[in-house]
Structure 1
């Protein structure tokens, strides 16, 4: 495996075709693909500007809150407020409307769980959207699996992607990728905002990836006594690693046709999920042979040199030994990632280089800490898995 940087071939945003069901307005705005059926707003133009509307006759101040900026909206005589943002980066973005100081979802969009709430999301068409576009080709199935966790003493669920032909070729078993979301998101993220199923469907149709099962669970898991601590202001200790290793994986292996050798099991996550899956993988190398960290690795100051003798119980101290155990070690980030991600990921790469540990590195052009970075990362990572 060579230490390399992947590149995507892009056409310009101006040349990309927006595939919306509704018609184009006179000034170039098109309804967003994330709109509820029949809704004209919010809409997006070729510059990536977002236009929103909301009927609020009694309101005195309404703003479009997107990308960390609140844009003023203007009310007409009928109480209809309209406003537009500056150009946004291509890809998916959470946003909301602020009505007289109260932040509310836009009633024109579908709702997504992110930023710790159910709220609005909008898609700025990307130049490479073909990698996650719904196409007329064989599709896999995303199913919901509900289970009771003895560790957390609570009902939980995961979403499981099974590839095309899983239901018809019943004598075949599959490798498994465990794929985790980021902070203030949940198990719905990868199948909705992330389009993980469509990415794999498209890769499989192009013979660019091996058929695999993908399991997407909720990274927030706590024992009851830890949740009690949080009520008094303490920070509960996560039990997700134990849930993953003693409940989720055995359940998936028992109920789905999986290949259970470590070389047939991979794990990956974005941001918080990259940190969680790093620890799960490195603490359980008998269970995983491939790791993917999207926009994250593990929590430590980027200015510090990593003490490999102590970090994660010294698993990185013997680079040669770890390198032999890993089939794929993949890192990625967007070229516009905010601090502290460039520094912390850079420090981690420096440690891997120093220890002689081979890895793959991908940079998503012109994206930050957002879903287009992670969609592209999955697209690259999935092509590397289960090849040996």
Structure 2
């Protein structure tokens, strides 16, 4: 009997030893490689040279002295084929492209340049000047009471006149378009609704219209620390524009079905329809939230949209 008790005790001890022997395996699992941290956006700067991998023979970087900021502001400009040949005096329409991200920069959307230039070089679309805008610290918005955060006004009141004075543009609204994706899509719709006297053509891609609606319903508040002027959003501005619908702007809304803003783009389209504001649409199947991936499939169609609206 004594031997049986001893045997049971020994087996119990061996079992406990085995359990403790497995603990390093559990600890090894706990030390599994963590997920890669999301890359923080680069600090905002008003001037950003074109990165080496984005350089193109027809793409130039420029700056102008901002009267309001009292400092240089950068932009990138893609000139159409034939712009610099000989002593040509030909003038061209302009599309202003608003970057995504917050903050972003004038170099954020330059991956589109080879596609845009190729479409013009192959004569699938006529020549146009594309200007890539620096949208300021809060991407294409003005922040009330903060003079250094007036990205919308720097674009509208300062960059556009500079471009018209510096390059061979056709300097009227009938030959001026605006486009952008994500934050730039929000900016495109908002600024074309606020300034229909400046743009005849506006293509808004993948904008966050649910966030714009939140701003509308909260008196301008996007978050606890970010408050815009009341009424400065795509919902309130559309309501205001619908009362007169003049001057007429040709709008395009485009989005990929796999993008996280797809559903709220559909909702915003319904809203515009309810207000009697006409627009065209491009919905790209199976494409995520990516202006580049949409351009890889529909670049020519988007450029033809602008070209058809330039009178």
CA distance in 1, matches of 2:38, 2:96: 34
Equivalence for 1:45: none
Gapped regions of structure 2 (runs ≥ 5): 1-30, 44-53, 218-230
CA distance in 2, matches of 1:218, 1:247: 12
Specify whether residues 313 and 190 from structure 1 end up closer, same or farther in structure 2 by C-alpha distance, changes over 3 A only: closer
Measured against aligned partners, the alpha-carbon deviations of 1:9-67 in whole angstroms (never above 9, x if no partner) come to xxxxxxxxxxxxxxxxxxxxxxxxxxxxxxxxxxxxxxxxxxxxxxxxxxx9767xxxx
CA distance in 1, matches of 2:294, 2:106: 15
Equivalence for 2:213: 300
Equivalence for 1:174: 92
2:193–2:238 Cα contact (<8 Å) kept: no
Cα displacement (A) at 1:221:
4.6
Cα displacement (A) at 1:297:
6.0
Q: Structure 1 residue 364 and structure 2 residue 277: aligned?
A: no
Q: TM-score, length-normalised on structure 2?
A: 0.68
CA distance in 2, matches of 1:355, 1:246: 29
Gapped regions of structure 1 (runs ≥ 5): 1-59, 64-69, 71-97, 105-114, 119-133, 231-235
Q: Of the candidates 290, 306, 311, which is equivalent to residue 385 of structure 1?
A: 306
Q: Of the candidates 187, 191, 194, which is equivalent to residue 106 of structure 2?
A: 187
2:177–2:306 Cα contact (<8 Å) kept: yes
Show the 5 A alignment for 1:240-259. Answer: 240-259=151-170
Measured against aligned partners, the alpha-carbon deviations of 1:117-142 in whole angstroms (never above 9, x if no partner) come to 39xxxxxxxxxxxxxxx9xxxx8610
Specify whether residues 332 and 237 from structure 1 end up closer, same or farther in structure 2 by C-alpha distance, changes over 3 A only: farther
CA distance in 1, matches of 2:254, 2:179: 11
1:301–1:344 Cα contact (<8 Å) kept: no
Cα displacement (A) at 1:315:
3.4
Q: TM-score, length-normalised on structure 1?
A: 0.55
Equivalence for 1:330: 252
Measured against aligned partners, the alpha-carbon deviations of 1:117-170 in whole angstroms (never above 9, x if no partner) come to 39xxxxxxxxxxxxxxx9xxxx86100002222223332200000011100152
4+ residue segments displaced more than 3 Å: 60-63, 313-316, 371-374, 376-379
Cα displacement (A) at 1:374:
4.4
Alignment RMSD, CA only?
A: 3.4
CA distance in 2, matches of 1:154, 1:61: 49
CA distance in 1, matches of 2:151, 2:294: 21
Equivalence for 1:53: none
Higher helix share: 2
Q: Structure 1 residue 209 and structure 2 residue 125: aligned?
A: yes
Aligned length: 244
Q: Of the candidates 164, 167, 171, which is equivalent to residue 260 of structure 1?
A: 171
CA distance in 1, matches of 2:124, 2:208: 26
